[in-house]
Copies of this chain bind each other. A is one copy, B any other.
Amino acid sequence: MEKLHSLYYVLEMAGTFAFAISGATAARKRNLDLFGICAIAFIVACGGGIIRDLCIGATPPAGLTNWPYLVVALIATGLTVGLFSLVELLHRPVLVFDAIGLSLFAVTGAEKALHYGHNGEVAILLGVTTAVGGGVLRDVLLTRVPVIMEKEIYASAALIGAIIVVLGNYLKWVSGDLAAIIALLVCFSLRILALHYHWNLPTPVDKKASPDKKDGLDKG
Interface set of A (CB-CB < 8 Å, partner B): 26-37, 39-40, 50, 54-57, 59-61, 64-67, 70, 81, 84, 113, 118-119, 121-122, 125-126, 136, 140-151, 155-156, 159, 200-206, 209, 211-215, 217-220
Contacts and interface: CB of A to CB of B under 8 A. Distances in A.
Contacts of A84: 204, 206
A220 B145 contact: yes
A64 B162 CA distance: 15
Give the number of times this chain occurs in the complex, counting copies.
3
B33 A200 contact: yes
Question: Top 6 closest A-B pairs, CB basis?
Answer: A36-B149, A57-B59, A33-B201, A145-B220, A32-B149, A34-B201
Nearest to A144: B219
Contacts of A31: 150, 203, 205-206, 211, 220
Residue of A50, A60, A211 most packed against chain B (CB within 10 A): A60
A30 B212 contact: yes
A142 B145 contact: yes
A193 B141 CA distance: 27
Given A32-B149, A65-B121, A140 B141 contact: yes
Nearest to A40: B149
A40 B220 CA distance: 15
Nearest to A50: B55
Nearest to A203: B33
A209 B88 CA distance: 12
